Amino acid sequence: MKPDSKSKQIILRACWGSNGWRSRPHFTEKDLAHLRRTEYLFRVAQLSHDDAVARLVRVRDAVSSATVSAAFVASLGSRELEYRSALGSYAHALHITEHSFEPAEYLRTKVCATCGLPPRASADWSVLNLERLKWGGSVMTRSRSRRLIWKNSLSRTCGLHHVTTGRSG
């Protein structure tokens, strides 16, 4: 599925401004209807560690390295950054095995000893989609570094899903 340029522009205009993230994105009803119809806007999802890992493994197994490579190479000529994130997503996903949450005893925060994900978190697929469209994936800032592993795993799932289906989330 070819990315919808109108949807990309609506999302970028509503969520990102000259000063960075807008604190309250504004969408007109017409824009919201268009984004839902083209599957560029999503509800915030609550995911458990085990659900996130299972989703990542399922999506990874549904895509081939040839598809990921083709998407990355095509993005170099087209400058469609959303296809670049699949390469990093795929490389990351290759190292994840299906496992249950096992708390890391050496850390003060409750994360999985195997993969670093928390036991439960929310995933704003619309924000992850915007980051994929604007920068080719998630970006890290110091203030968000604590949630980086969780967010990158979710965005990587989003990136792989986009390559396999042409849609995010």
The predicted-structure confidence for 1-48, as pLDDT tens digits, reads as follows 455 788 888 888 887 778 887 777 778 889 888 888 887 777 778 889
Give backbone dihedrals phi and psi of 16, rounded to 5 degrees, phi first: -130, 135
pLDDT of residue 100: 95
> How much is the pTM?
0.64
pLDDT of residue 49: 92
pLDDT of residue 89: 80
C-alpha neighbours within 13 Å on the C-beta side of residue 88: 18
DSSP-derived secondary structure letter, 23: S
pLDDT band at 107 (very low <50, low <70, confident <90, very high): low
The predicted-structure confidence for 110-134, as pLDDT tens digits, reads as follows 888 888 888 988 777 777 777 777 7
Q: Could you tell me which of 87, 112, 92, 116 has the C-alpha nearest to residue 102?
A: 112
Provide the token pair at 132: 């994929």
Contact (Cβ atoms closer than 8 angstroms) between residue 128 and residue 119: no
Largest CA distance in the chain: 50
Across the chain, mean pLDDT equals 76
Q: Which amino acid is at 85?
A: S
pLDDT of residue 101: 94
CA distance linking residue 26 with residue 10, whole number of Å? 10
The predicted-structure confidence for 134-167, as pLDDT tens digits, reads as follows 776 665 544 444 444 444 444 444 444 444 444 4
For range 95-109, the mean pLDDT: 85
